[in-house]
Amino acid sequence: MSGHHQHERAGRTTSPYAARIRAIEALLLEKGVLTEPEVQDSISYMEARSPANGAKLVARAWMDGRFEELLLSDAKAAALQLGMEPEHPAEFIVVKNTPGVHNLIVCTLCSCYPRAILGRPPDWYKSFEYRSRAVREPRAVMREFGFEPPEDVEVIVHDSTADVRYMVLPLRPLGTEDMREDELVELVTRDSLVGVNVPRS
């Protein structure tokens, strides 16, 4: 029970789903199925996964053509090269935006997402509205995120599954040729990694 109270004091969300998770956690701790250090290790593990990892992969690919080739052909190997641990059994595929093609990622069945790299998906990604509309009207969805690809740009929607997770390699913004890799990382947003928007300019 002490772990349950610690999480509440830490100011975590108090949604009905979160309350249910905390109750299950407390029961598992009480029955000895889990220990508090194991719970904390799991939390630390997930918190180490964030869109910042995707931003690092993208910035390195923008700077290094050979790394880009690796990222597009074997994304898990590329992630390992930068010290990430994409050990999830699902395949991890990175799709590249070009001047003529813009990629958008969705999971129409649930919320499959490359958690081992990017962490938890945003709430809107899990919503029924996004999951249904991203396929039917992807341009309208992107417009609501503040981005509208030109009419001559083909929009390709990739449907993540339990077996395959996707991430977008967005186009490098114009005028960033002299920027350092750490500066490029700051331009890459979570939304650009899903394809609903583009990097900061």
Rg (CA), the chain: 19
What is the spatial distance between Cα 35 and Cα 41, in angstroms, rounded to a whole number?
Answer: 10
Identify the active-site residue in 42, 44, 73, 111.
111
Q: What is the mean pLDDT of the chain?
A: 88
Identify the active-site residue in 42, 73, 110, 132.
110
User: Could you report the per-residue pLDDT of 32-51, keeping only the tens digit for each?
Assistant: 877 877 666 555 555 556 89
Identify the active-site residue in 112, 132, 160, 201.
112
What is the reported pLDDT for 46? Answer: 57
What is the reported pLDDT for 29? Answer: 77
What is the reported pLDDT for 3? Answer: 40
Mean pLDDT of 118-127: 94
Output 82-88 pairs: Cβ under 8 A, ≥24 positions apart. Answer: 82/53, 82/56, 82/57, 84/53, 84/57, 84/117, 85/116, 86/114, 86/116, 86/117, 87/116, 88/114, 88/115, 88/116, 88/165
User: Could you report the per-residue pLDDT of 74-89, keeping only the tens digit for each?
Assistant: 999 999 999 998 878 8
Q: Homologous superfamily of 51-194 in CATH? A: Nitrile hydratase alpha /Thiocyanate hydrolase gamma (3.90.330.10)
42, HSE (Cβ side, Cα atoms, 13 Å): 7
What is the spatial distance between Cα 88 and Cα 75, in angstroms, rounded to a whole number?
Answer: 12
The region of weakest confidence among 29-38, 43-52, 66-75, 149-158 is: 43-52
Mean pLDDT of 94-108: 98
Domain ranges of the chain: 2-47, 51-194
Checking if the pLDDT of 177 tops 90, the result is: yes
What is the reported pLDDT for 31? Answer: 80
Mean pLDDT of 115-123: 92
What is the reported pLDDT for 39? Answer: 63
What is the reported pLDDT for 11? Answer: 44
Is 110 a residue of the active site? yes
Mean pLDDT of 186-193: 98
Is 111 a residue of the active site? yes
Q: Give the model's confidence band at 187: pLDDT under 50 very low, under 70 low, under 90 confident, else very high.
A: very high
What is the reported pLDDT for 48? Answer: 56
Amino acid at 9: R
Mean pLDDT of 28-32: 80
Give the pTM: 0.79
Is 107 a residue of the active site? yes
